[in-house]
């Protein structure tokens, strides 16, 4: 194994190998299933992490955002 894997993946593989060894008594079948497990995990394409696109704001828009004060809702009850 030349590829480094995260600890969670190593743990998953370890548990799956135990499950395979319990399930199949034939050593050839065990080896075949474990090889399949590794091939499935190592050949799986990794999800690409897309960075969110940042929209540049004009100085006027920045000024408008800064000028707006947060609105405070009063919790007073209406008078009858």
Site of tokens 């590829």: 3
Domain membership of residue 51 (yes or no) is no
What confidence tens digit (pLDDT) does each residue in 48-75 have?
666 666 667 777 776 776 666 666 666 7
Q: Which are the contacts of 20, defined by CB distance < 8 A and separation ≥ 6? A: 30, 33, 34, 37
Domain membership of residue 74 (yes or no) is no
Question: What gap in Å lies between CA 11 and CA 41, rounded to an integer?
Answer: 13
pLDDT for residue 24 is more than 90: yes
Task: Report DSSP letters for 31-75, one per residue.
Answer: HHHHHHHHHHHHTSPPPP-PPPPPPPPPHHHHHHHHHPPPP----
Domain membership of residue 69 (yes or no) is no
Per-residue model confidence (pLDDT) at position 69:
60
Q: Give the count of domains, the chain.
A: 1
């Amino acid at each position: 194994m030349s590829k480094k894997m995260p600890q969670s993946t190593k743990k998953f593989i370890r548990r799956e190998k135990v499950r395979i060894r319990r399930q199949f008594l034939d050593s050839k079948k065990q080896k075949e299933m474990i090889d399949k497990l590794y091939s499935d995990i190592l050949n799986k394409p990794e999800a690409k992490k897309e960075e969110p696109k940042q929209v540049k704001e004009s100085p006027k828009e920045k000024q408008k955002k800064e000028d707006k004060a947060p609105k405070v809702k009063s919790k007073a009850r209406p008078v009858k």
